[in-house]
Structure 1
Amino acid sequence: MQTPAGQAAGPSGTDAAPGDATPVAETTIPARDIGVAVLYTAAVLTATVFPLGSTGLLGHGHAWPPAVSTALLLIAAAATVLRRRAPAVTLAVTGALSTIEIFGAGQLAAYFLVFEALWAPIVHGSRRTARMSTGAGAVLAIALLGAVLSWRPDASHLVLALLLIVVVVLTPLMWGWEVRHHREARRAAEDLVAAQAQLARERTLLAEERAGRAVDEGRRRIAQDLHDVVAGHLSAVSLHASLAGSLPDEAARSDSLTAARSSAAAALRDLRSVIAVLTSTEDADAEPATTLSWEDLAARLRAGEPADAARAVTGTRIRIDPRVDDPSVVDPAVRAALLRIGSEAVTNALRHGQAPRTLIVELAAPTRQVVLTCMNAVDPEQRAGSGLGRAAIADRARAVGGTATSGLVSGPGPAAPLGGIGTDSRGRGRAGRLWRVEVRVPCAPERAGTAHPLPSAPAELDPQATPRPLPQEQR
């Protein structure tokens, strides 16, 4: 006869409690269970043909004829075919009929069937069915002990009762729970391995996604540098070259051509730096080195001005606070961002604006901020540009924790936020004659207390320029 330990199928049952992880019941009866039922049936028939002279626990002899015992046990043996598909049925039918036979007639095959009736629900049933089988085993153990002691309350029969309880009740219960716990632990380990594999796949996908975002971010930074720095130099080259042929003053033409050559050389150097970063495999996060300086921006803004006297008429004014270049006052990363923002603002002022033009960079001591202001006159009928320059300025300001505003102004009050305020649906200014870009970025907080002694007044990059107060709407 096949022993219960040979069963390899997982738990199943139709009476799974809510939240029970037990698999659903088998839709067909496995051939192995049919074989087990046949073996139990053969054991019952063999015990009928060759009786061993056993007696029931409730009294002497048999409480009913052997044919009745055979019928009861055949039904009990047939119910074992559902040990995997419906273990609760096996517990109810096989367990009940075999217990009746043990107490009434005591045929030996009944003890094997009780063993199976207690073991199978624990191994193959839901957790609720397993608890029911354990409870039934406890009741059976008490009944066996009471029956033996009521029949002959002596030491030998007490030992017999305890032996029956251990063999018929405790062994299938402990064995069944051990097999069940082993299977649950194995299933939990398999689930853990599957979860870890899934987590590893998700981490790999996340790493690939992050790498892709890093590449896109690097491309965006390179594109911004090309737009803010290289394009600014090339715009200056174009502007100076155009003005050189139209200026009547020989000195102004020479200055314009010199500025064009200088801007072209700076554009080549910056372009080589960008190419070096793009082709480098050592540092993917490296920033291109640029040749920007406040002097370079001032030279761009004064492009084509013929002489100092005419400059006073055009009203171009440049003022840079020397403390902005002090690394103990302004973090170098903030200064680099300001230079790129200033390059974009100056390029837009030259490309789309008119004189007078103003560039002011100063340190606001109370708020520990650097304020960059770039203004130029505009034609009220001029259409607004694409907005790429304004977006680049806003992005660079936000990258260092600052803010940027821009718009057309005609009187006192702040500029409009970046994003289109200050123009109507046709792209024309609603009011005003000046375009103002104002950027406020913080200094390095940890270095705020280490500033160098400041000069009494900010330095003018153009010492020959006549300082003039800004109009009321520019203050």
Structure 2
Amino acid sequence: MVSTARSPLSPPFRQDLLIAAAGLVGGLALWALGLFNNPRPPLGGGWVLLPLAVMALAEALRRTAPSAALVLGTVALAGDLVTLSLLATIVMFSDVVYAAVLYGGPRLSRAVPPASAALTAAVTVGTLAAVRDPQALLAGIVCGLVTVGPAWTGVIVRDHRNAAAAERLRAQQTALLAEMDRVQAVTAERARMARELHDVVANHLSAIAIHATAAQSLDDRAATGDALAVIRENSVHGLAEMRRLIGLLRTAGDHEEVSAAPTLDGLDTLLSHARRHGAAGGLGFTLRDERSGGPLPAPVELAAYRIVQEALTNALKHASPGEVAVVLESPGREDGGSGGGALTVTVTSPCDRRPGPRAPGSGAGLVGMRERAELLGGSFRAGPAGAAGGTRWEVRAVLPLGDAVHGAADGGDGARRGDGA
């Protein structure tokens, strides 16, 4: 249970002081009018005002110190019963019992209701044994109304308050989780957009940078004209790709125009563009496709295509003259594409010192390739590797082909994308 008890050193609540004052004034009015409950008490006269004052003090402490208030109230009630007895004192005691259950600690709130029931039973049996008259049951009924009724009312109200507090806490937690999901989804979408923009546009911008660098370093007017023509061509293609992506971002609803994702069948076209842009730098490009088995999952095809595309772009910018080799390997799968295994993508290029200026790079391409591989549960490595013809730069990605790929593409992709954002 949630306890609403406060420290005994805390000041009383203003409402409790008003309740205590009202009870005290009401008791004084009953005393002045001579309205008493016990016409033949052991103690008469003004002694009845002492329990009234103690009970008023207990009322003032009903929420600040419920345990102390209950003890004072019980003592005051016992004193009231041996004097003339005022109704105001009894009514205030019932409120003290109610407040002890509602505002007291868990142990007190659990102990008061059964104790009240036991007290009522004891009063009833004791009165019957003393007077041997059925009318003695009225004493038990009055005791129950003063103790059991307020106690169980406090239990009901406390349970409702605890349930409401639990619901508010659950609502806050739900809202917090929803906000975390929203932030994670936005972060993952931004990371995906960054990868797509880099992979789609960077190839054209790299070609522009390479040929602009060549145009600046060449004195041949014809060669400069050819470089400017390539720059214009890639600028037009890059702008077209940018407009297409911006259009996709701005279009919403059922009429959203989504372009087909590239597949490995387009690698020949990709390499032909690379050959045309790399010829001036002495680069040659080869493709060795050693795949076997059925078709690959769409997420694997897209990731492999983008990794090859970025690796070729990096080779155009940084590789020294020589051959750039693209190798695709995958084992045969008996179930036609739903089984295990992995697609291995390897792109190697010469990394000896390259003559002349190079196009600048930011390193975002390597981050994007690593993210694409890890999203599918695969691995990625990029770095120099020894070879017979000299040191070569090797990009190697292993992309699983099992059922986990579909889970990553459907549900786990968005959750894991944010890791590299």
TM-score if structure 1 supplies the norm length?
Answer: 0.62
- Aligned partners of 1:364 and 1:134: how far apart in 2? 75
CA distance in 1, matches of 2:295, 2:118: 83
How many matched pairs?
376
Match of 2:391? Answer: 434
CA distance in 1, matches of 2:231, 2:13: 87
Distance 1:182 1:218, change over 3 A: same
Deviation larger for 329-338 or 138-147: 138-147
How far the C-alpha of 1:315 sits from its partner, in A, is 8.6
CA distance 1:287–1:433, change in 2 (3 Å): farther
1:402 positional shift: 3.1
Q: Deviations over 1:418-441 (max 9, x none)?
A: xxxxxxxxxxxxxx9433223233
1:97 to partner: Cα distance:
0.9
The residue that corresponds to 2:251 in the other structure is: 280
2:311 counterpart residue number: 345
What's 1:415 paired with?
none
> Do residues 333 (structure 1) and 299 (structure 2) align?
yes
Match of 1:94 in 2: 76
* Larger deviation, residues 210-219 vs 376-385: 376-385
CA contact (8 A) 1:377 1:435 kept: yes
Gaps of 5+ in 1: 1-17, 57-63, 102-106, 413-431, 449-475
Amino acid at match of 1:347: T
Per the alignment, residue 241 of structure 2 pairs with 270
Give yes or no for contact 1:95–1:114 (8 Å, CA) kept in 2: yes
Equivalent-residue separation in structure 2 for 1:120 and 1:27 (angstroms): 15
Partner of 1:231: 205
Letter in 2 for 1:20: S
> Is the counterpart of residue 365 in structure 1 residue 345 in structure 2?
no
Query: 1:77-108 deviations in whole A, cap 9, x for unaligned?
Result: 2222124223225423322212334xxxxx4x
Deviations 1:84-135 (A, max 9, x none): 223225423322212334xxxxx4x36x367436513321222656645863
CA distance change for structure 1 residues 254 and 19 in 2, over 3 Å: closer, same or farther? closer
User: Any idea what the Cα deviations from partners look like across 1:272-297, whole Å, max 9, x if unmatched?
Assistant: 43233233234899678669632332
What code does the residue aligned with 1:149 have?
A
Q: Does 1:374 align with 2:331?
A: no
The within-5 A match list for 1:128-139 is: 131=111, 135=115, 138-139=118-119
- List structure 1 runs of 4+ shifted beyond 6 angstroms: 50-53, 239-248, 252-262, 380-384
CA distance in 2, matches of 1:140, 1:331: 77
The change in CA–CA distance for 1:160 and 1:54 in structure 2 (over 3 A counts) is farther
Of 145, 148, 153, 1:179 maps to: 153
- CA–CA distance in structure 2, aligned partners of residues 52 and 354 of structure 1: 110
Structure 2 unmatched ranges of 5 or more: 62-68, 333-340, 406-421
| Paired residues of 1:294 and 1:339 also in contact (CA < 8 A) | no
Q: Provide closer, same or farther for how the CA distance between residues 144 and 447 of structure 1 changes in structure 2, counting only shifts above 3 A.
A: closer
The CA distance in 2 between the partners of 1:32 and 1:317, in whole Å, is 92
Q: Contact between 1:243 and 1:256, CA under 8 Å: does it hold in 2?
A: no
Amino acid at match of 2:309: S
How far, CA to CA, are the matches of 2:21 and 2:328 in structure 1?
93
Contact 2:120 2:148 in 1 (8 A): no
Report the AA paired with residue 444 of structure 1: L
Q: Residue type of the partner of 1:98?
A: D
Match of 1:391 among 367, 378, 381: 367
- Percentage of pairs with the same residue: 18
How far apart are 1:391 and its partner, in Å?
2.7
Summarize deviations over 1:230-259 as a string: whole Å, max 9, x none.
Answer: 3355457658979999699xxx99999998
Secondary structure at the counterpart of residue 354 of structure 1 = coil
Report deviation, 1:75: 0.9
Aligned match of 1:409: 385
Matched, 1:34 2:16: no
Cα-Cα RMSD? 4.7
Q: Report the Cα offset of residue 298 of structure 1.
A: 3.9
The one of 49, 52, 57 aligned to 1:74:
49
Q: How does 1:305-324 map to 2 (within 5 A)?
A: 305=279, 316=284, 318-321=286-289, 323=291
Q: Kindly indicate whether the alpha-carbon contact (under 8 Å) linking 1:118 and 1:137 is maintained by their aligned counterparts in 2.
A: no
Task: Report the secondary structure of 2:3's partner residue.
Answer: coil
Q: Distance in 2 between the 1:407 and 1:133 partners? A: 76
| Counterpart among 124, 145, 162 of residue 188 in structure 1 | 162
Contact 1:407 1:437 in 2 (8 A): yes
Residues 1:355 and 2:318 aligned together: no
Corresponding residue SS for 1:405: strand
Aligned to 2:274: 300
Structure exhibiting the larger radius of gyration computed from Cα positions: 1
- Tell me if the contact between 2:385 and 2:394 (Cα under 8 Å) persists in the aligned partners: no
SS of residue in 2 equivalent to 1:401: coil
Q: Which structure's relative contact order is higher, taking Cα pairs within 8 Å and 6+ residues apart?
A: 2
